[in-house]
Chains A and B, each alone.
Chain A
Amino acid sequence: MAKLTVVDVTLRDGNHTVRQQFSPELMSKIATALEASGVDMIEVGHGDGTGGSSIHVGRTVAPDSQLLQAVVSSVKRARVAIFLIPGFGTMVDLQQAYDLGVTVARVACHCTEADITEQHIQLARKLNMLAVGYLISFGMAPPERIAEEAKKMESYGAQYVNLADSQGYLVPHQVKEYIAAVQDAVKIPVGFHAHNNLGLAIGNSLAAVEAGAAYVDGSLKGFGGGAGNAQTETLIAALKRGGFPTEVDLFGILDAAATLVAEINKYPHLANVPMPTVDNDSIMMGYACVYGGYVLPIKRAAQEYGCDPRELVLRLGARKVVATQEDVVIEEARRLAGMA
């Protein structure tokens, strides 16, 4: 079996949990702990990727350059990755990340829009970075369409393609079906990124690995948009039990998770942030297939405009909102509240 790589996304997707409030100092400590545990790839940045800091989806505490620098300077062996959504982040951002020492570019788009990643994947290859094509919310399109889009990314030069179940919408046998369809279509390895809305993040990740995924994403304490990601420390334990060894040390990753909790408790504004949990709202998000990054905007908008968040979720699902359309949440909430 090919080597299995665990990609830790605490410092990127986990930024959603803390409303983009991870400081460079905290990031540096977590990166150090992750590297010590044997994690080979660490993703860093705004929850919506490099260039994501904005009024629209939340401002980070420090510019991308400082966040990236903090992590790059804290690791020796581990590869530092960025996540970049074209239309949001630009090639200027990508070049800057490379100049700061980032060696992996995960270029992401909604699962049916692969052709917007061509310029960025090509630039990453030109810079000799590991170029990754990343398909967001792949459960929103059928497996044969996802296979086509993955093929496009391969043709642009992607060296592996990552499938993200961004809504935590799929169940294990569906995940296997998608992974198999993509593997049949491309020669490059396939990766998987889970969300836990239906309590299946670990189960789906194992299903993906069983189906042949060579990369799998995890996040300490499950930090990540909505109900959170596959919890890295649980994932490492489960992969070992399932007969899929990784290079990550179980005690080391447990220590990294403990470090995250300790670091968060040092910051009063972070200490009160709710841990990702499978609450009623996030079940609804998974069920209605609404992007996990929306959970906080939905809660805020439902409270502000006095409407039922479940109704809001169903409406957003019916509108098939894609990632980074947070403004629609306010519009629908105002409509539900009879204000617009």
Chain B
Amino acid sequence: MAKLSVAILGSGNIGTDLMYKVRRSTLLELQLVAGIDPTSEGLALARKLGYETCTDGIEGILRNGKIKLVFDATSARTHLDHAPRLKAAGIIAVDLTPAAVGPGVIPVVNLQQHSTEPNVNLVSCGAQATVPIVAAINRISPVQYAETVSTIASRSAGPGTRHNIDEFTRTTARSVSDIGGAKQSKSIIVLNPAEPPIIMRNTVYAVVDQSADEKSIRDSVMAMAENIKSYVPGYKITVEPFLDGDHITTCIEVIGAGDYLATYAGNLDIITAAAINVAERYAETLSQERMAVNG
């Protein structure tokens, strides 16, 4: 099967981590790493690995002509500019910024619904880690209210997250309802400065009917966790779902794959891994379409 030609837009931590993951993918072919800072470490690493690079960002991508899909790992503000230009060029955008131009996607929950969207958004790392758990509970027993708490190492929270913590908090909460299915939701984010840095941890509280079957919920959550593990190997349920008063409590730890970012930064790993998963599904869909056309 021919690989799907992709490019990475943004050569910071996230973009560089994506590069290592694309490199491993059997379905994606990295055409270009586009940055804007000629001295960036990410671009230097890309060149070292033999990838083509450019320093004029989106312009280089539009010039290339072969690229079918772009991972945008820049910032919300610049993605607002990139989105219409990519769309006009017929290039799929997998957006890792909080811009939310396209629908939010959590691969194990709703990727199917959005498999033909020209632009999808990865919501937030907190959402990638917690929304599937809410969805897994909700498919067994309707979740009246879900609350998610994500604790990440201070060192893994870049300036983008820090200066936009309010958007992060509200976007995550919204996806717990819109994608996870909870009637009401609240999300909390805690930055922990402990050294050595702590691994990303999440707790999900879900208020369910008193008649809900604890075992069915546990089975559903554990099955969901297995699905996530297929693309985030470090995803681990540390406290299995248990009924605690009026709600189900579940704790999750996410250890990063350590591709470029340190293993404690599971929060960054889970969002880059989700992006790769989304791109690979596009690669499969497009390849099937090609086969269908070729008869």
Interface residues of A (CB under 8 A from B): 54-56, 86-88, 90-92, 110, 112-113, 115-116, 118-120, 319-322, 324-325, 327-328, 330-331, 334, 340
Asked if B188 contacts A319 (CB within 8 A), the reply is no
User: Complex Cα distance A107/B159, Å?
Assistant: 19
Residues of A within 8 A of B195 (CB): 320
- Distance in Å: Cβ of B59 to nearest Cβ of chain A: 32
Instruction: Tell me whether B130 is interfacial, beta carbon within 8 Å.
Output: no
User: Complex Cα distance A330/B201, Å?
Assistant: 13
Q: List 17 A-B contacts (CB under 8 A).
A: A55-B205, A87-B188, A88-B190, A90-B166, A112-B193, A113-B154, A113-B193, A115-B163, A319-B198, A320-B193, A320-B194, A322-B190, A322-B194, A324-B149, A325-B192, A328-B201, A331-B238
Instruction: Tell me whether B191 is interfacial, beta carbon within 8 Å.
Output: yes
Asked if B193 contacts A56 (CB within 8 A), the reply is no
Residues of A within 8 A of B239 (CB): 330-331, 334, 340
Instruction: Tell me whether B165 is interfacial, beta carbon within 8 Å.
Output: yes
Residues of B within 8 A of A90 (CB): 166, 169-170
Do A91 and B166 form a contact, CB below 8 Å, given A113-B154, A113-B193? yes
Instruction: Tell me whether B251 is interfacial, beta carbon within 8 Å.
Output: yes
Partner of A113, one of B164, B191, B198: B191
- Distance in Å: Cβ of B7 to nearest Cβ of chain A: 31
Residues of B within 8 A of A321 (CB): 192, 194
Q: A113-B193, A120-B166, A325-B151 known; 20 other A-B pairs, CB under 8 Å?
A: A54-B147, A54-B188, A55-B207, A56-B147, A56-B149, A56-B203, A87-B191, A110-B192, A110-B193, A115-B162, A115-B163, A320-B195, A322-B190, A324-B149, A325-B190, A327-B203, A327-B249, A331-B238, A331-B239, A334-B239
Residues of B within 8 A of A113 (CB): 154, 162, 191, 193
Residues of B within 8 A of A120 (CB): 166
User: Complex Cα distance A321/B203, Å?
Assistant: 15
Instruction: Tell me whether B100 is interfacial, beta carbon within 8 Å.
Output: no
User: Complex Cα distance A115/B195, Å?
Assistant: 19
User: Complex Cα distance A278/B205, Å?
Assistant: 32
Residues of A within 8 A of B111 (CB): none
Do A56 and B192 form a contact, CB below 8 Å, given A115-B163, A327-B149, A334-B239? no
- Distance in Å: Cβ of A182 to nearest Cβ of chain B: 18
User: Number of B residues contacting the other chain (C-beta, 8 Å)?
Assistant: 32
Do A322 and B192 form a contact, CB below 8 Å, given A56-B147, A92-B170? yes
User: Complex Cα distance A119/B188, Å?
Assistant: 17
Near A by CB (< 8 A), chain B positions 142-182 give 147, 149, 151, 154, 159, 162-166, 168-170
Give the most central of A87, A90, A113, A330: most B CB within 10 Å. A87
Asked if A327 contacts B163 (CB within 8 A), the reply is no
Asked if A88 contacts B188 (CB within 8 A), the reply is yes
Instruction: Tell me whether B222 is interfacial, beta carbon within 8 Å.
Output: no
User: Complex Cα distance A164/B192, Å?
Assistant: 17
Residues of B within 8 A of A112 (CB): 154, 193
- Distance in Å: Cβ of A326 to nearest Cβ of chain B: 9
B interface SS class? strand
Asked if A116 contacts B169 (CB within 8 A), the reply is no
Residues of A within 8 A of B159 (CB): 115
Instruction: Tell me whether B186 is interfacial, beta carbon within 8 Å.
Output: yes
Asked if A86 contacts B251 (CB within 8 A), the reply is no
Asked if B165 contacts A86 (CB within 8 A), the reply is yes
Residues of B within 8 A of A115 (CB): 159, 162-163
Instruction: Tell me whether B189 is interfacial, beta carbon within 8 Å.
Output: yes
Give the most central of A319, A325, A334: most B CB within 10 Å. A325
Instruction: Tell me whether B247 is interfacial, beta carbon within 8 Å.
Output: yes
User: Complex Cα distance A325/B201, Å?
Assistant: 10
Do A86 and B247 form a contact, CB below 8 Å, given A56-B149, A325-B190? no
User: Complex Cα distance A188/B193, Å?
Assistant: 26
User: Complex Cα distance A153/B189, Å?
Assistant: 20
Asked if A54 contacts B251 (CB within 8 A), the reply is no
- Distance in Å: Cβ of B269 to nearest Cβ of chain A: 21
- Identify the closest chain B residue to A118 (Cβ): B163
Give the most central of A115, A116, A331: most B CB within 10 Å. A116
User: Complex Cα distance A325/B190, Å?
Assistant: 8
User: Complex Cα distance A55/B243, Å?
Assistant: 13
Asked if B203 contacts A319 (CB within 8 A), the reply is no
User: Complex Cα distance A87/B157, Å?
Assistant: 13
User: Complex Cα distance A120/B170, Å?
Assistant: 14
Residues of B within 8 A of A340 (CB): 238-239
Q: Which 4 A-B pairs have the closest CB atoms?
A: A320-B194, A87-B189, A55-B205, A327-B203
- Distance in Å: Cβ of A294 to nearest Cβ of chain B: 14
Residues of A within 8 A of B238 (CB): 331, 340
Residues of A within 8 A of B203 (CB): 56, 327
Asked if B247 contacts A55 (CB within 8 A), the reply is yes
Asked if A331 contacts B162 (CB within 8 A), the reply is no
- Distance in Å: Cβ of A235 to nearest Cβ of chain B: 31
- Identify the closest chain B residue to A320 (Cβ): B194
Asked if B193 contacts A87 (CB within 8 A), the reply is no
Residues of B within 8 A of A324 (CB): 149, 188, 190
